[in-house]
Amino acid sequence: MFRRQEAADSRGANGRVSETHYDAAPIPEFDKRPAFIHVLLLNKTIRLFVVLGLASVVIPVFAYLFFFSREIGHDSKRDIIGTCGHPTLYHIPCGYPSNLSMAECHLLGCCYTSLATCYHSLPSEHQYIIGSDWSSGTPSVLSPYRTVTPYDRSALSEVRFDASVAEDGVGGFRFLLSKMNGSEAPSSMNTMRLETAELLVQVYSPTFFIEVKRKADQEVIFSSARGPLIMTDEFIEWTLHLGADTLFGLGRAYLEPGTKFLLLNNLNSSAVPIVMGYNAKLKLYNGLIFNTPGLTEVEIVGSRLIVVRAQLGVNFDLHFLAGPTPAKLFLQSKAILKNHYTPPYWAYGVHVCDQSPKWNLTTVRSNLELLLNETIMFDSHCLHNDQFWISDTMTLGTELESLRQMLRDAGKKFVPSLVLTLAYGGNPSFIDARENNILLRHPGNQLAYQGQVRNRTVAYIDWRTTSRSANLSQWLDSQWRKVANLGADGYTLEEATPRDERNSSLPWLKQLLYQPDQLNDTLVELLPWNTILSDSSQLVLSQHNLLGVRALEAIQERIDPGNLLIAGSFGIHNPVAILPANVSATWISLRSEVDRVIGLSMTGITFTGTPICGNAPLGNVSASEELCIRWYQFGSLLPLFRVSADRTPDRFSRFGRRVMHAILRKRFSLLEYLHTLVLEDAAYLRPMFYHYEEAANFTTELWEQFMIGDALLVAPVLLPQMSQIAIYFPETFYELWGGQAMPGNDVLQYAVVESDLPMFLRPGYTVPLRDIVDELVQLENGTATPITAELSRLKPLYLVGAFECNARRWRCSTSGRLLLQTGFLLEFGAILDEKLLISVRANVSEVEGATLRQLACSEVATINVTIGSVQLYGHPNSSQPLLHNIEYDFCLQEAKQVEFANEHRKGPSDAISNAS
């Protein structure tokens, strides 16, 4: 249906017509008796009944199809290039989704059903045509098959198509659709590349379709041939197919078929335009990354087709990721995103921020003193998240200076929240921004738009790169000199994406080229839909998702790389610590946060956190203690841990405080393992299918439990008043803190109490833990202070491992690694055979070896590199853990190997008899 036809060539390799050779062998004698079937067919009576029987079935069917069914055909007066009889699961809505009559639908060149829905034929009439002069080695110019789109706008008359191989050469392809009057495509794409060692791109003509095939078996793993391609000057709709049975991405661990996802940054959380999928038949994974500067909707139809409808800028950039495993997908995604973020070690600590709606410096001081006097564990404080607006003078008065000094004296960091909207009025920041014409504008009077944020009248910066970028840079330089007066150790960016608390301006139908069903519910959080940019009449809505991203990039250029930077608005390419805003304190939100973080981790966005127990304004509603305990448990596993001042442990009962402190101690114990994953830029939280594809029946839609790196399985409790939860163990795992064996290949009902966070160790792996038994650290001057992330590094290490044994279960091993700093690696492991052999070896960079050794071995050492003991689970002949002291000290010897007797060993023959 889609493929071009090529004439067969009957000439041989040398160009001559090949000769015909006849077989001269004699023809064997054949049976002259007629077969039974021939007897039947030669009988006139039987033939008559057969014809009448067929007619009685065929004629009614055709009569129904052509006279009664509305699901076949467009308009009878027009040519039909595709079928309307394809399955409902493959129906792509045509035009505006409701209120179309059959006549209106047919005029659009689409199909109409008896259920009054309008959908595209297959193939759709709304496609583009490749010019006849196109050759496969050069970019092509496309023209529309129909000049008018289903959205009452003209199709772009010319579109340029480019394709190139992904940067790593094997990870996939990049496809680019560009306006001909826009900027030129990248020079690297001036030559079309359609082939790698394993993959081949097929571009069909004259109707433009793309397919990506595997060379090994010619299986299609990506296609654009199953829906329309519609492009106007400001809009694109493209239907894409990954051949997947299960989809994940868009910031979620699982994408439900038959749903729509609006990628609009309305709650200070960013659009994540990445979709990945799993094909159960081929047992492979692949994915897509696309650009989405403004209003974008992604629809997952029942057949797992991916329909992207987005406002179009200069081009639409699409990356195809070839996989075929989740691990390779992650690496391919990271190669494109380049967003590796490694902040200072103290960034893994506990960060507190006062967000109370009614506040003054007296209450802020009182709350801070309470935290310090109650010896609550925390590493940094913001004072208050509404204290520092970029339009303020940023002058530290006596009161603020004393609060900052109070933090310094206690060994805490100062990480203020910086509000990036401007107070409207006579302040110099607003006046300067208005004179430089860098403010978003009202569509009526063209003046700076006035909105409301945090009960203040505000104006909004246009952070994009525009013709006035020099003005913006100069303005921000002058503002940043004020911010530098704070002497902060990091910043949290607030209100980077514009919103308006009093907005009630909603578009009518067809005022926007395409208007998703759920858009109006979203717009009440944003600027009015018709607000325009600073330098053109283009809607802010078309570039909305870029504003917070560009603000983040501008500020990153002006801060010290050693500072922590936290943002709610981010781009997929931004190296930053990510924390969403306006997360409500509900069980549904907690489950949504787990889903979100796993989805981000799988696509290569690692350094993220969750607002502990929510950070949306609560009003008169208080969060339950049980919910906050469960949120503490999940949040303690993530790189970023930030909590509102009214939800620190001292605000709960004695039981809640004890449980929360225990959770934080375990977090500090695990920090080295978590830090290693971030330094190595490895997938952080991983769905179970990442490692256990063979158990796809259990793992493809299972996100309530997950892996942290290679070694740890975690099943957080995500519902209230649970006494047991179901956990799937694909193989034998061991409870991390006690060593209890969990039978493999089974779903276990695991008993839990309110203080439990079920964590399990995978066989064959060893994790390093800091030996932290108390929340207080005794200092040399005789005083005690609450432990912090930096102080936790002064505690000795111990190792916990689980054996993986061979089939005869008489030889077992386990291993692990710890990356203390880039260039400073510890490798350790144990082999169980006739004896138990435990080894530790340090690998230190030759270039920075002296500096790295100073971290561990000088008088002012900041890292303790000693290992006291090893605890091992999974001995084949004993259910008890093995506990051995090894007393490793890096400063005395970089490598150490210790032997112990295997007290429970049985010979190979005994092992065989026991196994039988």
Q: CA-CA distance, 328 to 74, in Å (whole number)? A: 44
With CA atoms as reference, report the closest residue to 276 among 217, 329, 220.
Answer: 329
Contacts of 800 (CB under 8 A, 6+ apart): 736, 761, 766, 767, 769, 870, 871, 872, 873
- Structure tokens belonging to residue 697: 């029946």
Q: How many CB atoms lie within 10 A of CB 259?
A: 10
pLDDT at 96: 78
Write down the pLDDT at residue 55: 67
- CA distance linking residue 834 with residue 804, whole number of Å: 16
Amino acid letter, 331 = L
Using an 8 Å Cβ cutoff, are 605 and 592 in contact? no
- Report the number of secondary-structure helices (H) and strands (E) in the chain: 17, 51
Could you tell me how far CA 384 lies from the centroid of its own chain? 30
Nearest CA-CA partner of 583 in 595, 571, 572:
595
For residue 70, the model assigns a pLDDT of 37
User: Which residues, 6 or more positions from 704, have their beta carbon under 8 angstroms from its beta carbon?
Assistant: 591, 594, 715, 716, 718
* CA dihedral of 176, 181, 187, 193, whole degrees rounded to 10: 40
Spatial neighbors of 901 by CB under 8 A, at least 6 apart, are 835, 836
Whether residue 604 contacts residue 575, with contact meaning beta carbons closer than 8 Å, is answered with: no
- The residue with tokens 């709960």 is 652
- How many angstroms separate the CA atoms of 726 and 748, rounded? 6
Q: Helix 428-435 vs helix 469-483: angle between axes, to the nearest 10 degrees?
A: 170
The Cα-based distances of 86 to 124, 222, 230 in angstroms read 12, 20, 20
250 and 275 Cβ atoms separated by less than 8 Å: yes
| Residue 692 near residue 278 (C-beta atoms within 8 A) | no
Other CB atoms within a 10 A radius of the CB of residue 714 amount to: 19
Q: What is the pTM of this model?
A: 0.88
DSSP class of 850:
H
Give the tokens for residue 573: 């390419």
Closest CA to 305 of 88, 113, 100: 88
pLDDT computed for residue 270 by the predictor: 81
Q: How far apart are CA 151 and CA 155, in angstroms?
A: 10
Q: What is the SS3 string spanning 757-807?
A: CCEEECCCEEEEEECCCCCEEECCCCCEEECCHHHHCCCCEEEEEECEECC
Q: How far, in whole angstroms, is CA 97 from its chain's centroid?
A: 29
Give the integer Cα–Cα distance in Å for 119 and 873.
Answer: 59
| Ramachandran angles phi, psi of 203, nearest 5° | -105, 120
d(CA 382, CA 388) in angstroms, rounded, equals 10
Rounded to 10°, the helix 587-602/625-635 angle is 10
Per-residue model confidence (pLDDT) at position 503: 83
Measured distance CA(213)–CA(313) in Å, rounded: 30
13 sits in the region (left: phi over 0; alpha: psi -120 to 50; else beta) called: alpha
DSSP code, position 147? S
Q: How would you classify residue 190: left for phi > 0, otherwise alpha for psi between -120 and 50, otherwise beta?
A: alpha
Segments of the chain scoring below 70 in pLDDT:
1-44, 46-51, 54-81, 97-98, 116, 132-133, 136-137, 167-170, 181-191, 267-268, 618-621, 697, 907-916
pLDDT at 230: 97
Tens-digit pLDDT profile for residues 678-699: 999 999 999 999 999 877 767 7
Listed residue (762, 789, 761) closest to 775, CA to CA: 789
Residue 18 DSSP code? P
